[in-house]
Structure 1
């Protein structure tokens, strides 16, 4: 760790789960069993001898895209990943939105009309989490039901003109589009960057845009692809740690939100 400390100024961590002030609680308990209020930033910082800051992986990607990718030039921005699940991060007024309880932008758990119930298990009723209707996992379940090998095969077929596959592909995109319009109405987001294995597909973005066309123009933010690809979270975590270390806030992950000026300086 002494060699690392000599070469690095700070450590940034992007991880799944609810992250608040550098402390992590697993939301998918099968991923990190027993992780409840773990002081991740503090322990890593102590072990490595470096200032350390931790963010949820989607929030880190949002900061990376805002500071150095598809969100540059905006002040109201959202990053959305559509992959195994659905995750998001929000930048509002040029500041990364972070809540004290770690529920900063849990887009995958907002409610939509239940059609597939492709998650496990869902309460009985007319609503389901967005993740159960729009994620890659949900598309995998639909792919199996339709005889496709996996979600990628279903998406390929939809983009190739298979009407049955396209109906499910559009269902996934429409659910996400509805929530994007809701967030635009609530928070004034003007640009949304899509990432993740499903979200980065050109055909998926096109279908999200088509579904958004049903809403008034003021509720239709620009929808683009994330520019940093799979590295968005790494870049965002590094930029956040650098900025936090400069302010002396990184050791316990308790950094407050940086301004737009901070982001441009880090880019």
Structure 2
């Protein structure tokens, strides 16, 4: 299988490269210098020039709060560029795998979100990602859109690294306790994407939107407690759950972004991964890097 991947240094892209090496997948990764998503036509040209069996878009504008001040750029990167990639891939008869987000929902459901539930993003970021989903679906009938949530890894900007950086030496950490979601290891997302890509190249791809995120669902405060429990610090900080209103941010976040992941298991045999298993290794990796 030959794959063209948009993204190079992000959490998912780096894990895609690692898993590809293990599985013997021939993958070409395009960083911003090779194909900047701020230039949709450049991305389309990259697809047209590539000899690929599948295209994966693992790149995005992910600065949720900053997007409130840069809506145009967020829309270009998260919507216009994926749409251009989808159309170019379709013209070549190549399927597109596209990574999206739980932030397409408004968070008001009292149960895990299913793929067919009504969307209602609360932020510019969420709206731009939803627009990207729609343009991908319109641009290429052979697509799989993977909505995921609360991505973490041993590299890049994520909640685990933040907690292990700012929490050291602190007696107490105030962390939001009334937002619930599904922490998801980037390595699990990468493995899932390659499994889906293999299904498409074997003629067994299933088009549409699928949810794939870790279990069990927790609050940010509970996630922080799990991180510190694995830190090995003799005096780890005490986590104090607080309300969202006590930690105001420029962009609104959904209170409930828990995803129902039954559909992807039925379609691709991808069971919901336990994020706690991956967290042990990620915390150890970050600890080694921090010395």
TM-score, length basis structure 1 = 0.30
* RCO comparison, higher one (Cα < 8 Å, 6+): 1
TM-score, length basis structure 2 = 0.28
